[in-house]
Amino acid sequence: MGKVLMPEVAAGATHAVVSKWLVEEGSEVSVGQVIVELETDKAVVEYSAEEAGKLSKIIAGDGVEVEVGAPIAIIGEDAAAEPAPSNPQPPEASETEQTPPAPIATPIAQQQPEQNPAEPKVGEVDPARMFVSPVARKMASDAGLDLGKVIGTGPDGRIVRRDVESAISEQPAAAASQGEPSTSSALASQDYSSAYSSRPHSSMRRAIARRLTESKTTIPHFYLTADCDVAELLDLRKKLNEVSQVKISVNDMVIRAVAAAFMDVPEANVVWTQDQMLVYESADIAIAVATDGGLLTPVLRGVEKRSLSNIAASVRDLADRARSGKLRQEELEGGSFAITNLGMYGTEQFNAIINPPQSGILAVGAASERPVVKDGQLTVGNVMTVTLSADHRAVDGALAAQWLKAFQFRIENPLTMLV
């Protein structure tokens, strides 16, 4: 019984944020029970109790950033004199990331110049000194519009572009009698504003930017591409979905083919480190999942031992929990390889960036009907283009080509993945 310390929820992390307590102070907890959600720069992960007993005190409440190793709660002991955590403030107020409220840019046509106290308001006799934006005045002049009849809706009754546009649309006859502006004049009078708003970077977005920059600057990428005939795979998938309780996607079959290729070419299932090469015995594959906060890559382990229906159900579970922030710490770590699929968006081919420390990633495009040659005859086939990005420190070109050939064989002969 004792203190619950903030774990190192991500490799190299020095702080994490208590996102949400899932049990109340005074509740009994059991070993393995998820008691709190912790936010890292990658995702929100769940933390399970390592001891059973009464949660006698919550030291760090929701939204508090805590140093790794500092206490966040106490299970079973008297908590009367326990000090507060070493960094008791929400992440947005921490010393490392003090982001002021994002200023919202005002459209150019609505930016208010310094007002001359003597400047007359709308409806006064002198139209030259009306409170009118320059763009609105130019548009009114081109349209032959009397600004004295326009009601301003801008700050302090100022006439802005939308007021002039509204007046012109309501009085087409008057505009015509004054002479319609030419097409070129109308185009010139439009306010093509470059307005924008600013949005502070989230912790996850910063982490993604840092890791991708690290990947492209430290990992020597090289790329190999293959066109795969997936006609048999699509036919098999259709038959499997007629009997499977879980819908199997093309991506699920790609995951299975990747695992089979690593069993065929185990020399490619490696990860480079500064001191040694890590050789994986199983196919632990990261699956790219798009979320509102950015791209997450939870790892599906032992894929070579799984059935297609198990892969389909597991991937769906990982994706759902990734989008809802329910992934566990260990599900975001490890793996030697990743898969990213943009085929559902109609993208036929692209190159992906390796997710360090993994040694490769397969970019999967959309399957489409394309001309192919079979037995010397030109015909139409279903072709899917895949591109392998590999770390040249860990995998040589010939080895990568051997692995891609094994993958192509598996994907073009899908029955071999069922035996």
Q: In this structure, how many other beta carbons lie within 10 angstroms of the beta carbon of residue 334?
A: 15
Q: Which amino acid type is present at position 354?
A: I
Q: 229: which residues sit within 8 A by CB, 6+ positions away? A: 372, 381, 382, 383, 412
Active site residue 392: yes
The strand order across the sheet containing 2-5 reads: 2-5, 71-75, 53-58, 28-29
Residues in Cβ contact with 390 at an 8 Å cutoff, skipping those fewer than 6 apart: 221, 222, 223, 224, 354, 359, 360, 400
Using the structure block, give the residue that is written with the tokens 């700050």.
155
Instruction: Give the 3-state secondary structure of 117-168.
Output: CCCCCCCCCCHHHCCECHHHHHHHHHHCCCHHHCCCCCHHHCECHHHHHHHH
Which tokens is 301 given? 């382990």
Residues 6+ apart with CB under 8 A from 19: 36, 37, 38, 39, 44, 62, 63, 325
Spatial separation of the C-alpha atoms in residues 140 and 174, rounded to whole Å: 12
15, 201, 221, 392: the active-site residue: 392
**What's the token pair of residue 219?**
């990992």
The three-state secondary structure class of 214 is: helix
Catalytic residue set: 392
